[in-house]
């Protein structure tokens, strides 16, 4: 992994957040020396809550690239070497666009044509089946010799980064009112003990399949996944459960969580795509359904802890602490619903 990362073209340039567009354009001109400044059109995508993302289009050549500048202290959350290596591996398999270079505080990679899905799109009867097929394709990729899930080691690492008190007084007040770190560590241990019993296969997972990370190219009727920052070897059911949780959107409206009927249809299509030469039984679908809905807890815990860490470090305008509160609230609601100690 280290060699793949180190071998990637490196540009000694730092994108300045206060002059994001022009500073990003400089990266493009350094990367493609034949490009001319007057041919470039540059626009920022503002939906991301981890990094700053800019699309740079060479109007003369009709070519677009994405320039991603890492968020402040995001390396605490994301293994950048692993992320870049994963992109390189997946691009060779045709699953993502190629990565062109890295620079001091970011990377440049190809632009994926199409439109990002909206939250309602994910429940569209046609698109949801394409997503299930594409996730199955990802889960069959042999990207690493590792066969251990990163989920619980990463969560322990993140929890150690959660401060005992926050620099912002309003954030700290909300944290002290809603969380106790020792309880979170204990809860994580209990969660791990329950979930590992399920024996969910460890595969290469995207781990962040919210609507904005799913691109639909209508002309080719094709789904693509973008933004591999959190991609890793993980439990299959985490990836699926996390996707279902994202039906609620950033507003965390869990009334939008997919119904049992919808999930079972989705899961059957996933299993048929993953094992095309096997007849999938109703019991296999039911078993995966039970497994996924238990792993929904891990997804809430994951993004809840993520929010607690980001609340201290990130400079992006997003209420991370409130997001963490909402995710943990749903974690405990879901835990009561699932009844881990009874639902075997």
Residue 341 has pLDDT above 60, yes or no: no
- From the DSSP assignment, how many helices (H) and strands (E) are in the chain? 11, 11
Q: 188 and 326: one domain?
A: yes
CATH code, 179? 3.90.1200.10
Q: What is the mean pLDDT of residues 102-107?
A: 96
339 φψ region: left (φ > 0), alpha (ψ -120 to 50), beta (else): left
pLDDT of residue 344: 43
Say how many Å lie between the first and final Cα of the chain, rounded: 39
For the chain, what is the mean pLDDT? 94
Query: 189 lies in a domain?
Result: yes
* Reported pTM: 0.94
Query: 130 lies in a domain?
Result: yes
Q: 124 and 198: one domain?
A: yes
Domain end position, chosen among 110, 130, 153: 110
Q: pLDDT tens-digit profile of 237-247? A: 999 999 999 99
Q: pLDDT tens-digit profile of 208-236? A: 999 999 999 999 999 999 999 999 999 99
- Residue 210 CB neighbour total at 10 angstroms: 22
pLDDT of residue 170: 96
% the chain with pLDDT above 70: 98
Query: 343 lies in a domain?
Result: no
Cα 327 to Cα 307: distance, rounded to the nearest angstrom? 9
CB 13 within 8 A of CB 27: yes
Pairing between strand 232-235 and 202-205?
antiparallel
Q: pLDDT tens-digit profile of 263-319? A: 999 999 999 999 999 999 999 999 999 999 999 999 999 999 999 999 999 888 899
Distance of CA 36 to the CA centre of its chain: 34
Q: 134 and 36: one domain?
A: no
Q: 232 and 290: one domain?
A: yes
pLDDT of residue 48: 73
- Residue 255 CB neighbour total at 10 angstroms: 6
Residue 250 has pLDDT above 60, yes or no: yes
76-90, 99-113, 291-305 — which is least confidently predicted? 76-90
Domain end position, chosen among 110, 136, 170: 110
More confident residue, 81 or 135: 135
Q: 167 and 231: one domain?
A: yes
Cα 297 to Cα 317: distance, rounded to the nearest angstrom? 27
Q: What is the mean pLDDT of residues 131-139?
A: 98
Q: 193 and 306: one domain?
A: yes
Q: 314 and 218: one domain?
A: yes
Q: What is the mean pLDDT of residues 156-171?
A: 96
The pair of structure tokens assigned to 306 is 């993520």
Query: 344 lies in a domain?
Result: no
Q: 56 and 144: one domain?
A: no
pLDDT of residue 315: 84
Q: 170 and 270: one domain?
A: yes
Kindly write down the DSSP assignment for every residue of 273-333, as one continuous string: HHSTTSPPPHHHHHHHHHHHHHHHHHHHHHHHHHHHHHHHH--SSS-HHHHHHHHHHHHHH
pLDDT of residue 1: 52
Query: 124 lies in a domain?
Result: yes
Which are the contacts of 134, defined by CB distance < 8 A and separation ≥ 6?
223, 224, 225
Which are the contacts of 154, defined by CB distance < 8 A and separation ≥ 6?
232
Domain end position, chosen among 110, 142, 172: 110
pLDDT tier, 340 (very low <50, low <70, confident <90, very high otherwise)? low
- How many domains, the chain? 2
Q: What is the mean pLDDT of residues 69-94?
A: 91
| Structural domain for 106, as ranges | 2-110
**Rg, Å, the chain Cα set:** 20
Q: 93 and 138: one domain?
A: no
Q: 129 and 100: one domain?
A: no
Query: 19 lies in a domain?
Result: yes
Q: 208 and 234: one domain?
A: yes
CATH code, 61? 3.30.200
- C-alpha triplet 229, 224, 132: angle, nearest 5°: 100
CB 164 within 8 A of CB 230: no
């Amino acid at each position: 992994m280290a060699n793949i990362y180190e071998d990637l073209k490196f540009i000694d340039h730092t994108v300045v957040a206060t002059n994001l567009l022009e500073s990003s354009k400089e990266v493009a001109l350094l990367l493609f020396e034949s490009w001319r400044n007057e041919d470039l059109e540059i626009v920022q995508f503002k939906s991301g809550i981890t990094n700053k993302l800019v699309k740079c289009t060479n109007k003369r050549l009709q070519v677009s690239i994405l320039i991603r500048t890492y968020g402040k202290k995001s390396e605490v959350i994301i293994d950048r070497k692993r992320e870049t290596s994963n992109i390189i591996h997946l691009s060779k398999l045709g699953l993502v666009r190629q990565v062109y270079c890295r620079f001091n505080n970011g990377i440049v990679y190809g632009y994926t044509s199409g439109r990002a899905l909206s939250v309602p799109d994910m429940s569209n009867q046609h698109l949801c089946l394409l997503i299930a097929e594409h996730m199955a394709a990802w889960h069959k990729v042999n990207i690493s010799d590792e066969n251990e899930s990163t989920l619980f080691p990463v969560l322990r690492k993140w929890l150690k980064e959660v401060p005992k008190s926050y620099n912002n007084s309003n954030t700290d007040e909300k944290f002290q009112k809603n969380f106790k770190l020792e309880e979170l560590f204990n809860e994580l241990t209990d969660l791990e003990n329950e979930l590992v019993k399920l024996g969910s296969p460890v595969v290469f997972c995207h781990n962040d399949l919210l609507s904005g990370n799913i691109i639909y190219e209508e002309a080719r009727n094709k789904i693509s996944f973008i933004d591999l920052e959190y991609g890793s070897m993980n439990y299959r059911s985490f990836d699926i459960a996390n996707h279902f949780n994202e039906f609620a959107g950033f507003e965390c409206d869990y009334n939008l969580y997919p119904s049992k009927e919808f999930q079972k249809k989705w899961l059957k299509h996933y299993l048929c795509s993953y094992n095309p030469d096997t007849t999938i039984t109703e019991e296999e679908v039911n078993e995966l359904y039970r497994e996924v809905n238990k792993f929904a807890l891990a997804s809430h815990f994951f993004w809840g802890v993520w929010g607690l860490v980001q609340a201290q470090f990130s400079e992006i305008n997003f209420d991370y602490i409130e997001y963490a509160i909402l995710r943990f609230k749903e974690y405990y609601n879901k835990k009561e619903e699932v009844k881990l100690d009874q639902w075997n």
